[in-house]
């Protein structure tokens, strides 16, 4: 992409250096010098790089998205500095155009006209190249993913610089239109030197004829003030050439304005959509964070209440056990178990304390007879 050339600068003698002047190799910025400061001082834009999806397009095409965004923002910043420089040039152009109508020597008037021509040509060239650069920035923006924060940020920056560009185009157009009007008034006054009753229609007729107005030439020939009339004719012809140049400039600026207005409208629609998507995504993320926080809080509460429930169950079981074994049916079972345990202990003690007699044959027989003798039936209770 083309670089923005430095606008013509006026030296101490009042002359302007050529618009296409370039720095010599010896004047190149040394290594380690602040490049951003150089751009800020000179208003020069470094070449832009359009990133494509073609893997064979070079290293720039395969750069990460962050590098693309940084490159894009650098280009936008350089263009913004160039626009500020254009604004300064337009202020100088306005001053030079106003000096045209002041009385000054012919040599000084010629220098002033060269200054006007140089600034006008340089400004037109810069604005024309910036229009192409804006198209390149649009293509570079298209390589970013729609709906992302980077796309929205770069899109907003691009729309901003387009609007600033549009403001400078409008200012240039207004400046040239006002200068054209003053030139027409001056042309009318000069025509009235040889034709006192000349009107604006005569000016339009003269301009439409391409500076070959026969009626005006006849007035010069028949005028008693021949010398003054000849000078007025030359001045009118000079004004005619200047007006033609101004009209061409105004037409170009009008076309630039229309093209840029279309681009801004398209870009505004796209950026508005992206902004809505980003805002919707942001709202969804905020709601998601709130839902996650709510879920975490519910989980903490569920764990806490689970422990509370386990404690209540343990307390209930303990209370039931105490009631069963202290006040309920389990009380007798515990007492019976205690008595059985005591009898067994006593029997054991008795058995242990009494010596076992040696069984005899008669004792064994008696025992067998007792075992086979049926027990007496107890009498019924009255």
Residue 360, SS3 per DSSP:
coil
Confidence check: pLDDT of 19 > 60: no
Dist CA 48 CA 1 (whole Å): 6
Range with the lowest mean pLDDT among 18-27, 78-87, 101-110, 185-194?
18-27
Chain-centre distance of CA 255, in angstroms?
Answer: 29
DSSP string, 124-135: HHHHHHHHHHHH
Whole-angstrom distance, CA of residue 131 vs CA of residue 151: 21
**Tokens, residue 149:** 């924060």
State the pLDDT at residue 53. 37
Residue 10 pairs with which residues in a beta bridge?
Answer: 16
pLDDT at position 183, please?
78
Q: What is the pLDDT of residues 317-329, one digit of tens each?
A: 988 888 887 777 7
pLDDT over 50 at 39, yes or no: no
Task: Give the whole-angstrom CA distance, residue 226 versus residue 293.
Answer: 96
pTM over the 0.85 mark: no
Q: What is the DSSP string of 225-251?
A: -HHHHHHHHHHHHHHHHHHHHHHHHHH
Contact (CB, 8 A) for 95 and 82? no
- What distance in Å separates the CA atoms of residue 204 and residue 106, rounded to the nearest whole number? 27
Give the pLDDT band of residue 91 (cuts 50, 70, 90): very high
pLDDT of residue 2: 43
192: Cβ contacts below 8 Å, ≥ 6 apart: 198
Phi-psi region of 374 (alpha: psi -120 to 50; beta: other; left: phi over 0): beta
Longest distance between any two alpha carbons in the chain, whole Å? 193
Per CATH, is 31-279 categorized as 1.20.58.70?
yes
Domain spans of the chain? 31-279, 307-342
Cα distance between residue 28 and residue 40, in whole Å: 16
Average pLDDT of span 31-36: 42
Q: Per-residue confidence at 85, pLDDT binned at 50, 70, 90?
A: very high
Q: Does position 54 have pLDDT exceeding 50, yes or no?
A: no
Other Cβ atoms closer than 10 A to 177: 15
Instruction: Choose between 209 and 27: higher pLDDT.
Output: 209
Q: Is 195 exposed, middle or buried (0-12, 13-18, 19+ CB in 10 A)?
A: middle
User: What is residue 280's predicted lDDT score, i.e. its pLDDT?
Assistant: 78
Nearest to 129 by CA among 104, 164, 165: 165
Contacts of 83 (CB under 8 A, 6+ apart): 130, 161, 164, 165, 168
């Amino acid at each position: 992409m083309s670089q923005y050339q430095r606008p013509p600068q006026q030296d101490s003698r009042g002359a302007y250096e050529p618009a296409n002047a370039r720095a010599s190799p010896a004047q190149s910025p040394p290594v380690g010098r602040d490049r951003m400061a150089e751009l800020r001082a000179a208003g020069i834009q470094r070449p832009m790089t359009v990133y494509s999806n073609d893997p064979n397009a070079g290293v720039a095409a395969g750069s990460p998205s962050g590098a693309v965004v940084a490159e894009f923002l650098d280009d936008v910043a350089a263009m913004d500095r160039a626009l500020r420089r254009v604004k300064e040039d337009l202020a100088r152009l306005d001053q030079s155009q106003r000096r045209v109508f002041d009385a000054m020597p012919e040599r000084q008037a010629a220098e002033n006209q060269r200054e006007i021509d140089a600034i006008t040509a340089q400004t037109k060239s810069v604005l024309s190249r910036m229009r192409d650069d804006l198209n390149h920035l649009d293509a570079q923006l298209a390589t970013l993913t729609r709906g992302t924060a980077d796309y929205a940020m770069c899109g907003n920056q691009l729309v901003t610089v387009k609007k600033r560009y549009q403001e400078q185009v409008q200012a240039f157009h207004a400046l040239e239109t006002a200068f054209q009007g003053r030139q027409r008034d001056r042309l009318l006054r000069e025509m009235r030197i040889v034709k006192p009753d000349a009107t604006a229609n005569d000016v339009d007729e003269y301009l439409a004829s391409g500076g070959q107005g026969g009626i005006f030439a006849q007035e010069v020939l028949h005028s008693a003030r021949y010398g003054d009339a000849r000078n007025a004719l030359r001045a009118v012809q000079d004004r005619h050439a200047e007006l033609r140049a101004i009209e061409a400039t105004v037409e170009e600026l009008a076309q630039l304005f229309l093209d840029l207005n279309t681009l801004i409208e398209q870009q505004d629609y796209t950026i508005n959509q992206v902004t809505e998507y980003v805002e919707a995504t942001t709202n969804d993320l905020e709601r998601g964070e709130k839902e996650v926080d709510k879920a975490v809080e519910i989980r903490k509460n569920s764990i806490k209440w689970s422990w509370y429930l386990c404690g209540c169950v343990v307390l209930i079981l303990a209370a039931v056990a105490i009631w069963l074994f202290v006040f309920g049916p389990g009380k007798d079972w515990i007492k019976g178990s205690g008595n059985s345990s005591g009898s067994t202990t006593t029997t054991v003690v008795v058995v242990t304390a009494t010596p076992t007699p040696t069984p005899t044959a008669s004792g064994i027989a008696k025992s067998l007879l007792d075992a086979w003798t049926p027990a007496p039936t107890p009498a019924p209770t009255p």
